[in-house]
Amino acid sequence: MISKAWISAFYEKEFGKKPSCFRAPGRINLIGEHTDYNQGFVMPAGIDFYCYVAISDTQAHSSSIIACDYQEKFSFNSLPEKPTSTHWVNYILGVIKAMNKRGKVLPFFNAIIQSDIPVGAGLSSSAALESVFAKAFNTFFNLGFSSMELALIAREAENDFVGLQCGIMDMFASIHAKENHAIRLDCRSLEYEYFPLELADNKIVLFDTCIKHELASSEYNQRRKECEAAVSRLNQLGHRVESLRGVDVSMLHAEKSQLDTLLYKRAKYVIEENARVDKFSKAISTSDWATAGSYLYGSHDGLKNDYEVSCKELDLLVDVARESEGVWGARMMGGGFGGCTINLVKEDKVEEVIEHVKTSYSDTFGVAPKYYIATTGNGACEI
Ligand code: GLA
């Protein structure tokens, strides 16, 4: 268990002074996948796993950051122009760059990072890293950015410096998360509301494939381009839409024959998924677990067949969930090509379901999946 006392003591030993400490959570996403960069709706929540940072200023003429998990130290006195070969540091340099662009130049600092968010599990460990540094710089150096600006800064770090054209969901969740709540975010207006996660006698269980296929980020960027291409084509056909958010089912059906089949499938998935976010949240708020679960399965089917971002490991986890008593619904979560599935499970069946899924998965792939019973956590803060 990482604690403030631990990271603070480590910092003092390393840098000889008391630091300020911050943390930001990873995230789950109940529903609304690949909708954020299409200006649609998402429903993430903070998960009770965090990235921790201890930070203070320094008299030295360079900044140093130690990543405990990798036992690596990175020092710099001017900002590298391009991403470095030390992968984890790029997320932080990207945040500094985005802040510089907004007219805030940071003094030199020393920092230590440690995280208990599983890496590669689709729980947004990198968004948490960006978010915790955005929060730490903002608070420690009194930069005056709002929480919304911090989320945008963190996204810019990922888009412009790291090079993944992701949407706003992960950073937004890591900064704004609230215990026992999901966030219903409209990614077009950035309006959001906290949605109480009252799941009665149900639990959210995550099964982790423990794999991340190589093509994950190139395919991700490719999906984004395909969605943009669908929008351009609809505009060529005489419509006036800025994103797939502006397209409804009837428009899409009417233009089906004019659209490339692949683009049609991508657009269809996004439009249906946006509608599912609303229907899912209504079902949850009336405790209609079976209906809510059917939207989770619907989301998975769309991600698998129309959006084509699933993989055999994720599909197997969802197939096994489908045949397990006590599972209301399941789907792959996050960008795809590995990571976790999210499952809504009756509390008294959780153990049975875990055993069943572990056995079926090991029988096929020769290794057991990891699993987590998700509890929610609060967004980026000083601790
Ligand atoms: C990744 C991205 C998010 C979002 C999801 C898919 O987590 O970082 O912006 O697009 O994939 O919903």
Do the strands 20-29 and 44-57 form a parallel or antiparallel pair, or are they unpaired? antiparallel
pLDDT computed for residue 217 by the predictor: 82
Task: Say if ligand 1 is within 6 A of residue 34 CB.
Answer: yes
Q: What is the DSSP letter of 188?
A: T
Active-site residue (options: 36, 170, 208, 306): 170
Domains of the chain listed by start with CATH number: 4-197 (3.30.230.10), 202-374 (3.30.70.890)
> Taking residues 303-322, what's their average pLDDT?
98
Residue pair 240/251 in contact by the 8 Å Cβ criterion? no
pLDDT computed for residue 1 by the predictor: 77
**CA-based nearest residue to 48, from 23, 71, 72, 30:** 23
Whether 101 has a pLDDT exceeding 80, the answer reads: yes
Whether 272 has a pLDDT exceeding 90, the answer reads: yes
Whether 373 has a pLDDT exceeding 90, the answer reads: yes
- For residue 34, the CA-to-ligand 1 centroid distance in Å is 6
Buried b (16+ CB within 10 A) or exposed e, 30-55: bbbbbbbbbbbbbbbbbbbbbbbbbb
> Taking residues 274-295, what's their average pLDDT?
97
In SS3 terms, 289-355 reads as HHHHHHHHHHHHHHHHHHCCCCCHHHHHHHHHHHCCCCEEEEEECCCCCEEEEEEEEEHHHHHHHHH
Residue pair 231/243 in contact by the 8 Å Cβ criterion? yes
pLDDT computed for residue 91 by the predictor: 97
- For residue 48, the CA-to-ligand 1 centroid distance in Å is 19
In this prediction the pTM is 0.96
CA dihedral sign, ordered 76, 81, 87, 91? positive
In whole angstroms, give the CA distance from residue 242 to residue 30: 26
Reported as a single tens digit per residue, the pLDDT across 226-258 is 999 999 999 999 999 999 999 999 999 999 999
Task: Say if ligand 1 is within 6 A of residue 166 CB.
Answer: yes
pLDDT computed for residue 215 by the predictor: 77
pLDDT computed for residue 245 by the predictor: 97
> Taking residues 53-79, what's their average pLDDT?
95
Task: Say if ligand 1 is within 6 A of residue 130 CB.
Answer: no
Cα(first)–Cα(last) distance of the chain, in Å? Answer: 15
> Taking residues 322-327, what's their average pLDDT?
96
> Taking residues 312-338, what's their average pLDDT?
97
pLDDT computed for residue 2 by the predictor: 85
From the CA of 122, give the closest atom in ligand 1. 7
- For residue 260, the CA-to-ligand 1 centroid distance in Å is 24
Residue nearest to atom 10 of ligand 1 (CA): 34
Residue pair 205/343 in contact by the 8 Å Cβ criterion? yes
Q: Give the model's confidence band at 216: pLDDT under 50 very low, under 70 low, under 90 confident, else very high.
A: confident
Q: Give the model's confidence band at 41: pLDDT under 50 very low, under 70 low, under 90 confident, else very high.
A: very high
> Taking residues 260-281, what's their average pLDDT?
98
In whole angstroms, give the CA distance from residue 292 to residue 42: 15
Q: Give the model's confidence band at 79: pLDDT under 50 very low, under 70 low, under 90 confident, else very high.
A: very high
Average pLDDT of every residue of the chain = 96
53 bridge partner residues: 22, 113
In whole angstroms, give the CA distance from residue 248 to residue 264: 12
Whether 170 sits among the annotated catalytic residues: the reply is yes
Instruction: Among 170, 223, 228, say which to mutate for ligand 1: greatest number of ligand atoms within 8 Å of CB.
Output: 170
- For residue 37, the CA-to-ligand 1 centroid distance in Å is 8
Task: Say if ligand 1 is within 6 A of residue 37 CB.
Answer: yes
pLDDT computed for residue 212 by the predictor: 82
Rg (CA), the chain: 21
